[in-house]
Chains A and B, each alone.
Chain A
Amino acid sequence: GEEVAQTPKHLVRGEGQKAKLYCAPIKGHSYVFWYQQVLKNEFKFLISFQNENVFDETGMPKERFSAKCLPNSPCSLEIQATKLEDSAVYFCASSQSVQGGGYTFGSGTRLTVV
C-alpha cells in the first residue's frame, strides 16, 4: 500500500508490562525508522533498518527496547517492563532510499504507561 500502517493506534500498559508496536512499511521501501515523540514534542531517533538488517541502533535504550523487521512480516518495536517515562507517541517511517527523499511517516502509536 501507499501508507505506512502502524498498529495499534493506542496502547495502555501498566508499569512493568510489555508493549509491542507494529509497523508495515510501504511496499518497495527498503528502510524503516522508529522515532519516539515525547509530550514536549521532541523527537528521539530509536533505530533504523535496511530490509531486515539493523542499520543504525544508536538511539535504542538497550536494556528494555528491542526491534525487528522480518521478511513478510510487519516490523515491530517491543518494550519490556515498561516505565512511566516510556509514555510517548512512537512513529514508524519508511523510505526508498536512505538519504534525501524524506520519509513517509505512519500515524503513530500512542503508548500510555500507567
Chain B
Amino acid sequence: AQTVTQSQPEMSVQEAETVTLSCTYDTSESDYYLFWYKQPPSRQMILVIRQEAYKQQNATENRFSVNFQKAAKSFSLKISDSQLGDAAMYFCAYQGGSEKLVFGKGTKLTVNP
C-alpha cells in the first residue's frame, strides 16, 4: 500500500520569507499524481498545487512551487513571500491507480508577523 510521510509536524516562517515543507511517499506505481492541500482553521480543504508523475517539470502556482524528485520519491512544497493568510495545516497527498487520495499527517504552518 502507498504511504505518505510528512516529517515536520510544525513549521514556522517570518512574513515575506520562504519556507519549504517536506513530503516523501512510497509506491511501486509509475503513474500517479501528487497534491498539496491547505486546510485553514475553517477546515475547508483547498487544493494548492498538483504534479503529474510523468512530468519532469516542477509545478508552480504563483508563490507556491514544488520540488518533485521522482527517483527519491520526494515532493516538497516551497512557499515564497509568505503571507499571514498562508498559516494553515498543509497536507501532502498521493493518488495512484486506486484513485483514492492517500494523505500525510500534515504540517502545521505558522506565519509570524
Which residues does A use to contact B, with CB under 8 Å?
A: 31, 33, 35, 40-43, 45, 48, 55-56, 59, 89, 91, 93, 98-100, 102-105, 107-108
Given A41-B89, A99-B33, does the pair A56, B99 have CB atoms closer than 8 Å?
Answer: yes
Chain A residues, Cβ within 8 Å of B97: 99
Which of these binds chain A: B15-23, B38-46, B73-81? B38-46
Give how many B residues have a beta carbon under 8 Å from the other chain's beta carbons: 22
- B86-113 interface bits toward A, Cβ cutoff 8 Å, 1 = contact, 0 = none: 0001010001011111110110000000
A66 CB, nearest partner CB in chain B, Å: 18
The secondary-structure label for the interface of chain A is: strand
Residue of B nearest to A47 (CB): B100
Given A40-B105, A99-B33, A100-B33, does the pair A91, B45 have CB atoms closer than 8 Å?
Answer: yes
Which of B42, B98, B99 is the one whose CB lies under 8 Å from A107? Answer: B42
Given A40-B105, A45-B101, A99-B33, does the pair A107, B44 have CB atoms closer than 8 Å?
Answer: yes
Which residues does B use to contact A, with CB under 8 Å?
A: 33, 35, 37, 42-45, 47, 50, 52, 89, 91, 95, 97-103, 105-106
B100–A56 contact, CB under 8 A? yes
Q: How far is the CA of A45 from the CA of B102 in the complex (A)?
A: 8
16 A-B pairs (CB sep. < 8 Å): A33-B101, A35-B101, A41-B91, A41-B105, A43-B103, A45-B102, A56-B99, A98-B99, A99-B33, A100-B33, A100-B50, A100-B52, A102-B33, A102-B35, A103-B45, A105-B44
Chain A residues, Cβ within 8 Å of B95: 99-100
Chain B residues, Cβ within 8 Å of A33: 100-101
Residue of B nearest to A45 (CB): B100
A42–B47 contact, CB under 8 A? no
Q: How far is the CA of A43 from the CA of B45 in the complex (A)?
A: 12
Residue of A nearest to B9 (CB): A41
A48–B52 contact, CB under 8 A? no
B36 CB, nearest partner CB in chain A, Å: 10
Q: How far is the CA of A63 from the CA of B108 in the complex (A)?
A: 34
Residue of A nearest to B4 (CB): A43
Given A100-B33, A102-B35, A107-B42, does the pair A41, B106 have CB atoms closer than 8 Å?
Answer: yes
